[in-house]
């Protein structure tokens, strides 16, 4: 086997590895701009009217599980608007993201005192004089600050934090591997132009693979009833399963949409590299 044949075989192997690496980079990019961004969840919550679902769920919990909670409902309906709930949810989620990303070592605390203070804005002057007694009468068992560990497993959040940390390093690692492999490819092929053609081939291949994986995920997650099954099996503090199903479905759809956009970008860039690097026609000036 001649040297050129060995070079071609080795270059083809590098192209395959590069394509796999680019698929990993593409998925990490899509994951980073969706599930690791607070804005992504806020947009999904607004589109699915999830803040309104949380509001109604809160009223139902107060009405059914607190002995005197029913008397607080008229005041809660005035105080807990969707806009106010969204604002507080974003503040709380922002602090949670700081913990998950390693910027803080403390899980956030749910500030119930803000709700109690807001309820005071809708009380009569006579009620305000006995505000603390009325609040205690309505919400006696609920403290002014609720810790996450009082309602959910703390271990889940620490596992999620470790995952985010590992994912961040893996994302940078895949980029580093890509640059290293591209450098090796240039050294093997011994030509920038030919190397760009190989890189373009790997990018186009990666884009195609990502589109196929996206289509498969859409069929499995959305078209095969998997989301519905998962939502019905999740029991999160008696939250309506249909609202969870809608939220999960929308999250998956938007994530796969980002996958498709990244895949199309890889396809277009790869095709452009292959086309322009193969363009050998010389322009001649006709006198």
The model's pLDDT over 254-286, given as tens digits with 9 standing for 90+, comes to 999 999 999 999 999 999 999 888 765 444 444
pLDDT in tens, 217-254: 998 887 777 787 777 766 566 778 888 889 999 999 99
Contact 194, 250 (CB under 8 A): no
d(CA 46, CA 245): 15
Contact 161, 100 (CB under 8 A): yes
Q: Cα dihedral sign for 60, 65, 70, 73?
A: negative
Provide the pLDDT for residue 279: 63
Provide the pLDDT for residue 285: 44
d(CA 247, CA 243): 6
Provide the pLDDT for residue 160: 92
pTM given for the model: 0.87
Paired with 110 in beta bridges are 146
Provide the pLDDT for residue 208: 95
Gyration radius of the chain's alpha carbons: 27
Provide the pLDDT for residue 286: 46
**Which residues in the chain come in under a pLDDT of 50?**
281-287
Ramachandran sector of residue 236 (left: φ over 0; alpha: ψ -120 to 50; beta: rest)? beta
Q: Within its chain, how far is the Cα of 248 from the centroid?
A: 11
Instruction: List the end-to-end C-alpha distance of the chain, in Å, as a whole number.
Output: 50
């Amino acid at each position: 086997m001649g040297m050129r044949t060995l070079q071609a075989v080795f270059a083809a192997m590098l192209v395959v590895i590069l394509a796999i690496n680019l698929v990993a980079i593409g998925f990490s990019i899509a994951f980073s701009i969706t599930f690791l961004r607070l804005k992504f969840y806020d947009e999904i919550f607004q589109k699915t009217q999830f803040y309104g679902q949380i509001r109604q769920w809160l009223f139902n919990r107060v009405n059914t599980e607190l002995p005197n909670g029913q008397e607080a409902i008229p005041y809660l309906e005035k105080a807990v608007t969707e806009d106010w709930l969204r604002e507080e949810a974003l503040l709380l989620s922002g602090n949670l993201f700081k913990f998950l990303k390693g910027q803080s070592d403390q899980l956030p605390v749910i500030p119930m005192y803000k709700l109690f203070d807001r309820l005071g804005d809708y009380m009569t002057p006579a009620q305000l004089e006995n505000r603390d007694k009325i609040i205690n009468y309505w919400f006696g068992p609920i403290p002014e600050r609720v810790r996450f560990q009082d309602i959910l497993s703390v271990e889940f959040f620490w596992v999620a934090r470790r995952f985010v940390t590992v994912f961040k390093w893996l994302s940078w690692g895949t980029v580093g591997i890509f640059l290293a492999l591209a450098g090796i490819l240039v050294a093997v092929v011994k030509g920038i132009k030919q190397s760009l053609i190989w890189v373009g081939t790997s990018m186009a291949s990666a884009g195609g693979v990502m589109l196929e994986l996206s289509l498969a995920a859409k069929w499995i997650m959305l078209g095969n009833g998997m989301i519905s099954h998962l939502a019905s099996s999740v029991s999160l503090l008696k939250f309506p399963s249909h609202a969870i199903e809608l939220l999960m479905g929308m999250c998956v759809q938007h994530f796969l949409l980002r996958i498709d956009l990244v895949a199309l970008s890889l396809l277009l860039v790869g095709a452009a590299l292959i086309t322009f690097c193969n363009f050998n026609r010389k322009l001649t000036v006709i006198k």
